[in-house]
Structure 1
């Protein structure tokens, strides 16, 4: 098959494209695929938060956490900012109610009328003193559960939705796996009272909290400092057990807990500017130490890190040497980096966006990959032509096509290596902002 040479290749990028095309033809028929990764120049991106020099960032020390397990993440991206035994299985105590609340909000209606069951009436531990047969709205019970940590309210909610705590626990487990990607937790009840098979991890609770905080009703619940409570036998003002609310700058929630087996536990969130971070502390030896640990984590997060917007919604990104492929950001792509650092941006041909900083490599997002029609047609034609061409077999039974395939693979390897050195154009020739 003759290849036209009428048009002269004007630059190195053109030669690179031609060589890639040749390698593609050589490799057609192989059932393997390769994804090229291209490193872009450090992004000149929009930064959220105070600008701090690299020298200043270096002096921010990681906190000393006394609790057995802890994690700190960025609420927008999920990036881990601090971790200590974050995947160890631990007892959660009443932070279990975070799961109960978000499941209830996304399963039932807050205006539902709930009739308190006998089971709920006699629930152990912290209560809001519900009476059997008493009727309350789902929203009021959610407030009783999240503000005052009422175990009886938790059971009443579970019974209303699924008829029993056991059935509701099955729903909880399925929910956190599907919606939050929390794969290392198992819940046996809606309130967190001790059960040897009821456990979670700091990492999972951070994922669950991050998901839940995207629900505005959940945010309202966990941010409520005080609420008037009017029940059949108890009228009072409930005060949120989370001591950070009203005492820590920017605190937005979420929930604390305690049992002898679990120790002191806390999931907390705080927001300053557009940056919200979420911390989890499990099995702290005392309440004072619990809040000291959490304040230290949150302080560290705000002092040491900043958010950067890499791409705007619907922004089109082009790789050098791939003019027929558009990479489109379906939504804004953000990352979190140590203050004073410019991230190294890496994009592969599948559209995956990663950033490299002194903290390592993290996932930032994914582009929608759009191939131009002419490229798709050319690729389909080349594939069809290769499929119809029989392979030549020499007399000794060997297949010379194997040598060509090997040569093509080597060529593609060399070109992929060259591409790693090649810098991509940013935003069609403009800086990222």
Structure 2
């Protein structure tokens, strides 16, 4: 029987879990108190955002970081290939894009979506990033991870980058986003990562490229971007879509109009979402600068310092995060969601919090079992 989760951003003072101590996190939801709601949080005085079948979403002004509306913003779900945004942002800063790489057979044999790497060809790191963000290549993700020193090191680097960004809902277990017990992200974190990526010229170039020539054993072939809105939506900058059978559809995208950029992220959508995302972007452009935000996409942790939310436990939420927003309660799945909760029978959430002699039971992810070959796709 599952116990209802407290928000992942709640401060856990002391947790006894097979001798391990939990990482202390802010006492209030990152970005503002209102973002802790599982239901719709929208500004007053304007029409509510268009309906979406997504379990979770965020609409934000990328320029100011203001969250304009959200639904279950910090709900933790399987990210599928939207996790590649974190892979790219992390490794772009570490790998020379002109470096030449001959991929291993292991990288070339990755399941799911692939660009078609072969050990017979030497690729530039720049090519691999195009394959990662345009064609959602799981083979490219593994090749980049191996170039960075291997999967364990890359996972450590990605999770460190997530903490730096204050993306505390995100736990990376694979460089590709293929489902793995304990892996998670949230609509808030995807928007946060995308906003950071947009500030990186190379990241922005990769997500914005529609078609490109890609090296082959004999010459080149053309690859195209999986983000359909690059062709359909005026001002679309790009970013990343994802899908696995357990995660269902996820997407984070950004568009620029009139010198302003709006970011929309969705998680756990049952199917075709492109038109819904376009409507959410339209709504974002129509209300930006006219409403009190319901929260804030926070800035990265300063070098050598703690996040402000950790320095001031119980600190004030973002401007407009309470009082100015209308909150529609809704019964949503636990923070890790039905998708993650059902990944494996061997996955359990355990933990105990001891305060003044009283015992409160919380939940933490602990993945057990062995890695096994996956038979589902990630795009």
Shorter-chain TM-score above 0.5: yes
Shift of residue 101 of structure 1?
0.9
Q: Could you tell me whether the CA contact under 8 Å between 1:146 and 1:221 is conserved in 2?
A: yes
- Please give the per-residue CA displacement for 1:356-385, whole angstroms capped at 9, x wherever unaligned: 599739xxxxxxxxxxxxxxxxxxxxxxxx
Shift of residue 293 of structure 1?
2.3
Of structures 1 and 2, the one with the larger relative CO (CA 8 A, separation 6+) is: 2
1:218 aligns with 2:218: no
Q: How high is the TM-score relative to the length of structure 2?
A: 0.64
- Please give the per-residue CA displacement for 1:30-72, whole angstroms capped at 9, x wherever unaligned: xxxxxxxxxxxxxxxxxxxxxxxxxxx9453321111111111
> Which of the numbers 89, 93, 118 marks the counterpart of 1:106?
93
Q: Distance in 1 between matches of 2:222 and 2:77?
A: 32
Gapped regions of structure 2 (runs ≥ 5): 1-43, 294-315, 326-379
Q: Distance in 2 between matches of 1:359 and 1:260?
A: 39
Query: Which structure: greater helix fraction?
Result: 1
Q: Distance in 2 between matches of 1:292 and 1:91?
A: 22
> What residue number does 1:176 align with?
162
Shift of residue 269 of structure 1?
0.3
Gapped regions of structure 1 (runs ≥ 5): 1-56, 308-335, 339-351, 362-433
Change (3 A) 1:273 1:131: same
Shift of residue 82 of structure 1?
1.2
Structure with larger Rg: 1
> Which of the numbers 283, 287, 291 marks the counterpart of 1:300?
283
1:236 aligns with 2:221: yes
Shift of residue 296 of structure 1?
1.8
Shift of residue 274 of structure 1?
2.0
> What residue number does 1:192 align with?
177
Is the partner of 1:249 in helix, strand or coil? coil
> What residue number does 1:360 align with?
324
Q: Could you tell me whether the CA contact under 8 Å between 1:128 and 1:234 is conserved in 2?
A: no
Q: Could you tell me whether the CA contact under 8 Å between 2:61 and 2:288 is conserved in 1?
A: no
Q: Distance in 1 between matches of 2:77 and 2:52?
A: 16
Q: Distance in 1 between matches of 2:59 and 2:159?
A: 23
Q: Could you tell me whether the CA contact under 8 Å between 1:129 and 1:233 is conserved in 2?
A: no
> What residue number does 2:118 align with?
131
1:151 aligns with 2:132: no
> What residue number does 1:342 align with?
none
> Which of the numbers 269, 274, 299 marks the counterpart of 2:254?
269
